[in-house]
């Protein structure tokens, strides 16, 4: 039985994760009988918010505690000082925040939103969910139990008695049909599906780029392949500041696409590469996106839309359980999708980084029952990747930019190496290859040139600092910069070595290098910070700003501890001093 209650679901997402979670919640509430649209916050006419009774907000945090791009207009309106404090007196709401606890301003956008909604008279239906990507279960570590309680409270708002969600019910977003009269030459479908035919929705100032250089800059004998990739623009002039990022959406490899179609063929699924897909709306509150309202082959979707390297969520196994007709596989899928089966799901999927294609091969009897509709719910979508720009906008006269890209390849208990989707795709981009991207403001906010800077950027964490230093040299204002760089070997992975050494020779930068494997005892950037504690203490007390960029695993905490315990150890409260630096923007971190 359908309720008479409208539930509006609004999302703000920088990487599309919030959108996927919002759509997942929409499916669940559809089963409960609620109705209402799922929209990006900036796509919703915010003046109508005063008439809404129930709204769920799902938002990620980007930059230095900032709201994502498709939430900015919405948020700016909410901050108007002339809004009465009882504007949202009729609203019951809940907020789901998607954050990463490795950042100081964890889930800041969600916290700000919750506070402002309350100030305007809204009543929280449930406490805010502060999901953490660093959790073993990812965002689901908080979200799964939160949603169970949220749905219970949501039912109390219903005008009818509704069933519990005792098992997953398949609710397709759209009706997807196959036209078997497609063309055979899939090479004709090489156009970017997101930007073709003028489809640029949700992209701010998209750029058409061409690869000018793609060079490995680590020694061939070194285990890590790091690329310096130079892009030039086709028609547009580039405009960016040091610390800004370039966003690119990668594509699946030919090998993974072949593997997918081999799975289809093995299980006699009538889904061919050249078939054309047609999308129709099933629900008025879930419209088909504009970029899907054009002729697209299954090959194009397999290459550009479905993420074939993603590891399956528990929801994937719930879907497989729905379609499976094999008793053993179905029972296993039910177990892996249940709250009680989270540990087994971790051991089977997340920890070994088992991909969706590998799961489809393992559960081959269930795979044979898949339909095209289910596939669009089963596969997550390829998310854009964000890279700190590693060059200045000034010397190239706004026509070029560089990225430093570490190619991701590692091993787990699975024999086949795990390969990062985006970095391995970028590794094989030939000179002359064209693609689209867009620039976002970065996390770092740099001060005026007269302020001393302490920059800690091991590995590809060097990228935003290379951009800053190049920019200041080009403008003739370089100086009073202290750069800490770290890598394994001076002769193998000292990124941009000649350039950095020239900066130091020319007096633009003071450089401190930590080569961790060039001696028996490992030396990291935090050890170099401790070694130069007196110099750094004087810089900090004279007003220096600290910037930390790089891998989020251990380095940021070790660096921070070194400043507290070694550099500022003679202060009455070194920890409080650093905390104040963070709060005032004098200590900023960007990690991944």
In this predicted structure, what is the pLDDT of residue 356?
97
**Helices 327-337 and 314-323, packing angle to 10 deg:** 150
Q: Which helix (H) or strand (E) holds 20?
A: helix 17-32
Cα 57–Cα 62–Cα 68 angle in degrees, nearest 5: 50
User: The dihedral of CA 472, 473, 478, 481: what is its sign?
Assistant: positive
What is the residue-level pLDDT of the chain in tens, covering all 592 positions? 445 688 999 999 876 788 889 988 988 888 888 888 999 999 999 999 999 999 999 999 887 788 888 899 999 999 999 999 999 999 999 999 999 887 778 999 999 999 999 999 999 999 999 999 888 888 888 998 899 899 988 888 765 544 454 455 678 888 999 988 765 555 555 688 988 765 655 566 789 999 999 999 999 999 999 999 999 998 778 889 999 999 999 999 999 999 999 999 999 999 999 999 999 998 888 888 888 988 899 999 999 999 999 999 998 999 999 999 999 999 999 999 988 899 999 999 999 999 999 999 999 999 999 999 999 999 999 999 999 999 999 865 568 999 999 999 999 999 999 999 999 999 999 999 999 999 988 889 999 999 999 999 999 999 999 999 999 999 999 989 999 999 999 999 999 999 999 999 999 999 999 999 999 999 999 999 999 999 999 999 999 999 999 987 889 999 999 999 999 999 999 999 999 999 999 999 998 8
What's the CA gap between 118 and 232, in Å, rounded?
47
**Helices 140-155 and 17-32, packing angle to 10 deg:** 30
CA dist 517 to 265, 270, 354, 459, 522, Å? 49, 54, 31, 14, 6
What's the CA gap between 112 and 79, in Å, rounded?
10
Identify which of 287, 285, 289 has the alpha carbon closest to the alpha carbon of residue 37. Answer: 285
Which residue in this structure is represented by tokens 């020239």? 502
CA dist 19 to 13, 68, 347, 501, 549, Å? 6, 12, 27, 45, 28
What is the separation of C-alpha 578 from the centre of its chain, rounded to a whole number of angstroms? 28
On whether the CB atoms of residues 226 and 216 are closer than 8 A, the answer is yes
What's the CA gap between 118 and 248, in Å, rounded?
37
- Please report, for the chain, the start and end positions of each structural domain, with discontinuous segments joined by +: 8-155, 253-378, 453-591
Burial of 541 (0-12, 13-18, 19+ CB in 10 A): exposed
For the chain, state the CA radius of gyration.
25
Quote the tokens at residue 443: 């996390």
In this predicted structure, what is the pLDDT of residue 199?
60
Other Cβ atoms within 10 Å of 143 Cβ, number: 22
According to CATH, what is the number of the domain 453-591?
A: 3.40.50.80
* Fold that domain 253-378 belongs to in CATH: NADPH-cytochrome p450 Reductase; Chain A, domain 3 (1.20.990)
Quote the tokens at residue 426: 């970028």
Other Cβ atoms within 10 Å of 486 Cβ, number: 26
Half-sphere exposure of 485 (CA within 13 A, CB side): 25
Cα maximum dimension of the chain: 76
**Helices 497-505 and 463-475, packing angle to 10 deg:** 40
Identify which of 387, 502, 510 has the alpha carbon closest to the alpha carbon of residue 438. Answer: 387
On whether the CB atoms of residues 169 and 28 are closer than 8 A, the answer is no
Which residue in this structure is represented by tokens 């945090």? 61
In this predicted structure, what is the pLDDT of residue 170?
79
On whether the CB atoms of residues 308 and 252 are closer than 8 A, the answer is yes
In this predicted structure, what is the pLDDT of residue 395?
66
Q: Which helix (H) or strand (E) holds 464?
A: helix 463-475
Which residue in this structure is represented by tokens 């929209």? 39
On whether the CB atoms of residues 387 and 243 are closer than 8 A, the answer is no
Fold identical between 253-378 and 453-591?
Answer: no
In this predicted structure, what is the pLDDT of residue 161?
42
The DSSP result for 213-264, as a single string, is: EEEE-S-TTSS--EEEEEEEESSPPP---TT-EEEE-----HHHHHHHHHHH
What's the CA gap between 369 and 326, in Å, rounded?
10
- Say how many Å lie between the first and final Cα of the chain, rounded: 46
In this predicted structure, what is the pLDDT of residue 158?
66
Q: Which helix (H) or strand (E) holds 545?
A: strand 545-550
Chosen CATH of 8-155 out of 3.40.50.11310, 3.90.1150.10, 3.60.10.10, 3.40.50.360: 3.40.50.360
Q: Which helix (H) or strand (E) holds 469?
A: helix 463-475
């Amino acid at each position: 039985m359908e309720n008479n209650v409208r539930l509006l679901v609004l999302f703000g997402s920088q990487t599309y994760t919030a959108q996927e979670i919002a759509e997942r919640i929409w499916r669940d509430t559809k089963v409960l009988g609620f109705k209402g649209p799922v929209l990006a916050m900036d796509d919703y006419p915010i003046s109508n918010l005063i008439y809404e009774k129930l709204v769920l907000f799902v938002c990620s945090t980007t930059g230095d505690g900032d709201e994502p791009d498709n939430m900015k207009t919405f948020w700016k309106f909410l901050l108007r000082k002339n809004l009465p404090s009882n504007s949202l007196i009729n609203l019951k709401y809940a907020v789901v925040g998607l954050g990463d606890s490795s950042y100081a301003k964890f889930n800041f956008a969600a916290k700000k939103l919750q506070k402002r909604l309350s100030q305007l008279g809204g009543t929280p239906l449930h406490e805010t969910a502060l999901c953490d990507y660093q959790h073993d279960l990812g965002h689901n570590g908080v979200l799964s139990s939160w949603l169970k309680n949220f749905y219970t409270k949501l039912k109390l708002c219903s005008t009818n008695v509704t069933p519990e969600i005792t098992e997953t019910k398949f609710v397709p977003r759209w009706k997807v049909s196959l036209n078997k009269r497609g063309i055979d030459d899939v090479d004709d479908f090489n156009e970017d599906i997101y930007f073709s035919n003028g489809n640029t929705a949700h992209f701010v100032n998209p750029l058409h780029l061409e690869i000018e250089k793609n060079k490995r800059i680590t020694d061939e004998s070194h285990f890590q392949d790091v690329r310096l990739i130079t892009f030039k623009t086709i028609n547009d002039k580039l405009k960016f500041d040091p610390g800004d990022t370039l966003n690119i959406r990668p594509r699946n490899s030919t090998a993974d696409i072949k593997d997918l179609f081999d799975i289809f063929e093995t299980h006699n699924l009538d889904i061919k590469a050249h078939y054309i897909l047609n999308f129709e709306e099933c629900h008025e509150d879930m419209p088909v996106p504009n970029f899907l309202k054009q002729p697209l082959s299954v090959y194009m979707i397999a290459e550009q839309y479905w993420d074939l390297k993603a590891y399956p969520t528990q929801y994937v196994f719930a879907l497989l359980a729905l379609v499976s007709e094999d008793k053993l596989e179905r029972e296993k899928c039910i177990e892996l999708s249940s709250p009680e089966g989270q540990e087994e799901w971790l051991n089977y999927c997340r920890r070994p980084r088992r991909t969706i294609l590998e799961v489809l091969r393992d559960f081959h009897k269930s795979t044979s029952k898949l339909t095209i509709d289910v596939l669009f719910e089963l596969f997550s979508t390829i998310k854009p990747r964000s890279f700190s720009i590693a060059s200045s906008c000034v010397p190239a006269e706004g026509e070029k930019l560089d990225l430093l890209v570490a190619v991701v390849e590692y091993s787990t208990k699975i024999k086949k190496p795990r390969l990062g989707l985006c970095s391995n795709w970028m590794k094989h981009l030939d000179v002359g290859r064209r693609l689209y991207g867009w620039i976002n403001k970065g996390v770092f906010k740099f001060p005026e040139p007269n302020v001393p800077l302490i920059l800690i950027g091991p590995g590809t964490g060097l990228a935003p600092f290379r951009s800053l230093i190049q920019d200041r040299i080009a403008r003739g204002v370089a100086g009073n910069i202290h750069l800490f760089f770290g890598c394994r070997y001076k002769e193998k992975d000292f990124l941009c070595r000649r350039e950095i050494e020239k900066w130091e020779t020319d007096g633009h930068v003071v450089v401190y290098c930590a080569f961790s494997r060039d001696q028996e005892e490992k030396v990291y950037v935090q050890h170099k910070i401790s070694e130069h504690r007196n110099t750094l203490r004087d810089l900090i007390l004279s007003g220096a700003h600290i910037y930390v960029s790089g891998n989020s695993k251990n380095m940021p905490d070790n660096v921070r501890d070194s400043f507290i315990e070694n550099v500022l150890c003679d202060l009455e409260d070194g920890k409080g001093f650093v905390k104040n630096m963070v709060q005032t923007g004098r200590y900023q971190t960007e990690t991944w």
